Chains A and B, each alone.
Chain A
Amino acid sequence: MAGTSLSMKDIENSSIRDVFGRALVSIGERVPEVVLLGADAIGSTRGALFAKQFPERTFNFGIAEQEMVAAAAGFATCGKIPIATAYAFLLSMRACEQVRTDICYPNLNVKLMATHAGISMATGGTTHHATEDIAIMRSFANLTIIVPADALETVKAVEVAVEHSGPVYLRMGRGEIPNVHSRDYEFVIGRSTCMRAGGDVSVIACGTMVAEAIAAADSLEKEGIDARVVNMHTIKPLDQEAVIAAALETGAIVTAEEHNIVGGLGEAVAGVVSEHAPAPVIRVGVRDCYCGIGPEDGLRRKLGLTSESIVSAAKRAMSLKSSRNR
């Protein structure tokens, strides 16, 4: 793969965080300014591989995420490219003001890389879930937000985030998710990927929900419905062009995210649609509740983070479109 020492074998059939760990080593080899910051989770975020290879470039702050994020700002002012790692709920909420005031406001070149996002810490329960982080981060000017959909995209996103000048929030889950991209896939910040062409309805998804969206499109196809699937890997800056095109060309939109429907991808898309090309937008996601505790599969079903939810949302969106057109 261009620009990385990782092979496809390193990437396929691995958990997101394992792949993330290997991607950190790869970028560390290539970019000497990169330093890794952790808060007593360097093992579970898989920064340990980097730490082993570059001990002098790894800093563990103990269980002190606010200090870690503020220190990252200090590193950045001295020309380093700090990658601050932690569980998503801690990076976005415990260290929230440091992210906004110390990094986004002065526009410093810090990479916030969050693992265990969404409900991927399923049995950890609400304290360890992060279904609010996109909403919080979206409201910070200067910040780029990336939610990769599979292992390959995670590797590419780590590289591109480091190459990008300015603060980035990279949001990852924890476990294995299906691969949805082929190896020649090109990742560009702010340019969404059309995973599947279609003219009846558009499903705009991010992260783990991209695979669900593709499965939903398969089901819809069997019913004669031609669904477009867009991987909106960059939540900010949002690919407005692709959103407007989806609204104009298909007239009905479903969004899907492993996040509260309040403040997430769905609202970002709805904002663009309502300003530029009004069309029904149905949001699939966590419906403004805390998610409870349970095995990940069960929680996903209970919360409706499934292809079935996307299928029924697509039909609703289409019926809204047709009732409007009547």
Chain B
Amino acid sequence: MRKLGAQELSVKASKLRMMAIDMIDKAGGGHIGGSFSAMDILTALYFNVLDIDPRDPNKRDRDRFILSAGHKAAAYVPVLAERGYFAVELLDTFNQLDSPFAMHPDMNKIPGCDMSTGSLGHGLPVAAGMALALRMDNLSSRVFVLMGDGEIHEGTVWEAAMGAAHFGLENLIAIVDYNKCTMDGPIDSVMPLEPIEEKWRSFGWGVRRIDGNDMQQILEAFSRLPELDGRPTVVIADTVKGKGVPSIEGDYHWHYGRLSDMQRREAEATLRRGM
């Protein structure tokens, strides 16, 4: 597949948000807020950055991706469908009995899914194991892992942050979708992360901070990896929860939900302008 450029990726992300809105509507609800804050990053990864082949999803020397914030499946699953891992029509089954996918992804059911996730704080240590194994086999494959901002409250994230730096995993790239909201409220009132860059830096990581809803900045960050030689990289992506749906943007109440007909029409009009 030809890698898409920034402009094409933005159009693709708008299309994917519309697909996700439709999927969530049919499913009766979904994790729209965190899925939409991460949609631009996921689109960039799957249509530009990752070395993958949907015709050979288990290719040994592929890049790996772990959706550690598994609830962002409402973005991830449409991305995989659009990338060609399975038929787009299957999205209509989201959350249904016997569907290959629901709220959190299952690696044994979803082609292209490298790890089952859903419980927070698991993806980074799993990714560290993958990165070690790939390095042992002298493969140049990289491991990308997307975490939510609230997710990094979990202690296992910091166990793995310490370990990945110790093992010098320059083939490991963590992304923090910093949309500033957790389920109970604004993250700064629940459990603040700042100074977030210093935290990761002090653990021995190369740190990059970007606007995670700006395609140029996303591509630029991923175009020169690792950020520091011999070290894992973390991309702190400042994002907006619910990005692309004006009526819910930045509102922590929209961790999970289903848009009203009016919100939907408004969102579709906004997203069409971006296509």
Q: Which residues of A come within 8 Å of B, CB atoms?
A: 35, 56-57, 59, 61-62, 64, 66-68, 70-80, 82, 97-98, 101-102, 105-107
Known: A102-B122, A106-B115, A107-B108. A67 touches B134 (CB 8 A): no
Residue contact A80 to B125, C-beta cutoff 8 Å: no
Q: Is B38 an interface residue (CB 8 A)?
A: no
Contact with A along B122-139 (1 / 0, CB 8 A): 100111111111101100
Among A75, A78, A80, A102: residue with most chain B CB under 10 A: A78
The smallest C-beta distance from A64 to any residue of chain B, in angstroms, reads: 4
**Interface contact B163-A70, CB-CB below 8 Å:** no
CA distance A59 to B116 in the complex (A): 23
The answer to whether A66 and B107 touch across the interface, beta carbons within 8 angstroms, is: no
Output the least CB separation between A50 and chain B (Å): 15
> Are A56 and B163 in contact, CB atoms less than 8 angstroms apart?
no
Docked-complex contact A67 and B159, CB < 8 angstroms? yes
Contacts of A78 in B (CB 8 A): 129-130, 133-134, 137
Cα-based distance from A82 to B133 in the complex (angstroms): 10
Q: CB < 8 Å: which of B125, B130, B159, B166 contacts A77?
A: B130
**Among B118, B131, B143, B156, which residue has its beta carbon within 8 angstroms of that of A67?**
B156
Q: Are B128 and A67 in contact (CB under 8 A)?
A: yes
Interface centre among B106, B119, B137 (most CB of A within 10 A): B119
Is the Cβ of B160 less than 8 Å from the Cβ of A67?
yes
User: Which residues in B have their C-beta under 8 angstroms from that of A97?
Assistant: 119, 122
**Inside 8 A of A76's CB, which chain B residues have their CB?**
129
CB <8 Å contact, B126 and A102: yes
Residues of A within 8 A of B122 (CB): 70, 97-98, 101-102
A214 to B114, CA, bound (A): 48
Say how far B71's CB is from chain A's closest CB, in angstroms: 14
B27 within 8 A of A: no
Q: B162 at interface (Cβ–Cβ under 8 A)?
A: yes
Write the nearest CB–CB distance from B154 to chain A, whole angstroms: 9
In the complex, given contacts A67-B128, A77-B64, A102-B126, what are 7 additional A-B residue pairs having Cβ atoms less than 8 angstroms apart? A61-B159, A68-B125, A71-B160, A74-B127, A75-B133, A77-B114, A80-B133
* Top-8 shortest CB links A-B: A74-B129, A71-B129, A70-B125, A78-B133, A74-B130, A67-B159, A64-B159, A67-B125
Interface string of B163-179 (1 = CB under 8 A from A): 10011000000000000
Query: Contact: A66 with B156, CB < 8 Å?
Result: yes
Residue numbers in A under 8 Å from B118 (CB-CB): 101
Contact A72 B116 (CB under 8 A): no
Main secondary structure of the interface of B (DSSP, over half): helix
Q: List 9 A-B contacts (CB under 8 A).
A: A64-B162, A64-B163, A66-B125, A66-B155, A74-B130, A74-B132, A75-B130, A77-B126, A101-B122
> In the bound complex, how far is the Cα of B230 from the Cα of A316, in angstroms?
66
- With A67-B160, A102-B122 as known contacts, state yes or no: A75 contacts B129, CB within 8 Å: yes
Expressed in whole angstroms, the Cα–Cα distance for A319 and B177 within the complex equals 66
B133, A61: Cβ atoms under 8 Å?
A: no
Q: Are A66 and B159 in contact (CB under 8 A)?
A: yes
Interface positions of B (Cβ within 8 A of A): 60, 64, 106-108, 114-116, 118-119, 122, 125-134, 136-137, 143, 155-156, 159-160, 162-163, 166-167
Question: In the complex, what distance in Å separates the CA atom of A148 from the CA atom of B95?
Answer: 43
What CA separation (Å) do A97 and B116 show in the bound complex?
13
Shortest distance from the beta carbon of A56 to any chain B beta carbon, whole Å: 7
Instruction: Give Cα A102–Cα B106 distance, bound, in whole angstroms.
Output: 11
Q: How far is the CA of A98 from the CA of B126 in the complex (A)?
A: 10
Complex contact A80–B136 (CB within 8 A): yes
How far, in angstroms, from A35 to B116 measured CA to CA in the complex?
22
Known: A66-B125, A67-B125. A75 touches B115 (CB 8 A): no
Assembled-state Cα–Cα distance A242/B159 (Å): 44
Minimum Cβ distance to chain B for residue A314 (Å): 45
Determine the residue in chain B with the shortest Cβ distance to A73. B126
Q: In the complex, what residues of A have CB within 8 A of residue B137's CB?
A: 78
A62 to chain B, nearest CB (A): 7
- In the bound assembly, the distance between CA atoms of A214 and B243 in angstroms comes to 69
- Give B105 Cβ to nearest chain A Cβ, in Å: 11
Report the Cα distance A57→B128, complex, angstroms.
15
User: How far does the Cβ of B114 sit from chain A's closest Cβ, in whole Å?
Assistant: 7
Q: Please tell me which one of the listed residues A62, A72, A106 contacts residue B129 in the complex, with CB atoms under 8 A apart.
A: A72
Identity of the chain B residue whose Cβ is nearest the Cβ of A57 in the assembled complex: B136
Contacts of A102 in B (CB 8 A): 115-116, 122, 126
- CB distance B163 to A67 under 8 Å? yes
Chain A residues closer than 8 Å to B136, beta-carbon distance: 35, 56-57, 80
Q: Which among B108, B122, B125 has the highest number of chain A CB atoms within 10 Å?
A: B125
Of all chain B residues, the one with the shortest Cβ separation from A69 is: B125
Bound-complex Cα distance A71 to B60 (A): 18
Q: How far is the CA of A69 from the CA of B267 in the complex (A)?
A: 43
How far is the CB of A108 from the nearest CB of chain B, in Å?
A: 9
CA distance A141 to B116 in the complex (A): 15
- A57 to B137 alpha-carbon distance, docked (Å): 11
CB-CB nearest in chain B for A106: B116
